Amino acid sequence: AQSVTQLDSHVSVSEGTPVLLRCNYSSSYSPSLFWYVQHPNKGLQLLLKYTSAATLVKGINGFEAEFKKSETSFHLTKPSAHMSDAAEYFCVALLTDSWGKLQFGAGTQVVVTP
Amino acid sequence: KAGVTQTPRYLIKTRGQQVTLSCSPISGHRSVSWYQQTPGQGLQFLFEYFSETQRNKGNFPGRFSGRQFSNSRSEMNVSTLELGDSALYLCASSLEVLAGGLTNTGELFFGEGSRLTVL
C-alpha cells in the first residue's frame, strides 16, 4: 500500500539548535513530495517540494529536505530553530498523477523552547 | 493576489442539521480540493473539483457533497450532521498548467479553514 509515515508525532528543540523531522514514504512510483507547515488556526503553507529534480531541496524560512530514494525518505531539516518555527509539519506525497491521491502524513508537532 | 478564502470561518450546528461551506480559490486556479482535519484522523481528502467536475472523491459517506461553479468557486455540503463531523474543513486550490498533456505546479494553496462544531 502507498503511504507516508512521519516518524515523530512531537519534536521539542531549543531555539538556535537544529531541527530534524523525519518522513518515509512507501510507493511503487517515483513520488512528488512536499512539506507543509500549519500554524495554529491557520491553513497549510508549502515549505518546499521535490519533483524529481535536485535531491536536495531548499524551501522557505531556512528549511531544506533531502530526497533519498534508497531509503525512501524525505527528511526536513533546519540548522537553527526559531521560536516562530513552532507549528505542525506535514509530509505529503503525490503518489500518482492525481491530486485526489495526495497522501498526508500524520503530522509532527514542533515545540521550540527558549 | 488574494489567497484562498473560506467562509464562514467558524460555525456551530446541532445534530441533524445541514451545513454549506464556501471556498473561493486564487484567481486563475481551476482545481479545488477539500479536506477534513480532526485530531484523531488527521487530514483526510474529501473531494477534488476541476472545471466544475468532480475528479476525485475520498472515502466519506454520501452526506458529504460538493460542487464547483463556472468561476471555480466551490461549495461543500454536509447533511444530517453528526457529532463526529466536528472538524476543521480546509479548502485548497492549485494551478494546473498543461504541458505535454499533463502537468501541474505541484503546490496546493490552502485557505484558513472553516471550523465546524456540531453539538
Residue-by-residue pLDDT tens, chain B, 119 positions: 679 999 999 999 999 999 999 999 999 888 899 999 998 888 898 988 988 999 888 889 999 999 999 999 999 999 999 999 999 999 999 876 544 334 455 678 899 999 999 99
CB A14 within 8 A of CB A76: no
Contact residues for A65 (Cβ-Cβ < 8 A; gap 6+): A33, A35, A48, A50, A56, A57, A59, A74, A75, A76, A77
Cell readout for B26 is 486564487
Whether A98 contacts chain B with CB within 8 A: yes
Question: Among B55, B109, B111, whose Cβ lies nearest the Cβ of A100?
Answer: B55
Q: Which of A99, A101, A109 has the most B C-beta neighbours within 10 Å, making it the best mutation to test the interface with B?
A: A99
Q: In terms of Cα–Cα distance, which of A93, A76, A98, A62 is closest to A20?
A: A76
Strand partners, B40: none
